[in-house]
Amino acid sequence: MRQKSVKGFQTGDRVRAIVPDSSKKAGIYTGRVAVRAVGSFNIQTGREIVQGISHKYCRIIQRGDGYDYTRIAYLKGDAGIGHGYHAALSLPALKGEVSRAS
């Protein structure tokens, strides 16, 4: 299934879906996609799996390349005023002795 492309999406791609209010599944979802041959997808967010989202509401954020990219917040300054972000790269460990890149 990983090699199969449906409407330009592949299983494992990170997507953002903006589903309009007229739909039963209205809302904004960000997560990994599992493609279906019929053109609708399952999106696994951090908390749930949303099923049956149409490809027309989805936009690719990141191609499924085996890495997981996250944004980590940190505070700047002595008083903790201001917020900043930097990207972090993590690779799920395949073996216990494999370290994570950051």
Compute the 3-state secondary structure of the chain and give helix, strand, coil in percent, each to the nearest 5.
5, 50, 45
Domains of the chain: 5-62 (2.30.30), 66-102 (no CATH)
At residue 85, the pLDDT reads 47
At residue 97, the pLDDT reads 56
Q: What is the pLDDT of residues 24-66, one digit of tens each?
A: 899 999 999 998 878 789 999 988 999 999 999 999 998 887 7
Q: Please state, in angstroms and rounded to a whole number, the distance separating the CA atoms of residues 75 and 2.
A: 39
Contacts by 55-58 with C-beta closer than 8 Å and gap 24+?
55/6, 55/7, 55/8, 55/9, 57/17, 57/18, 57/19, 57/20, 58/9, 58/15, 58/16, 58/17, 58/33
At residue 23, the pLDDT reads 85
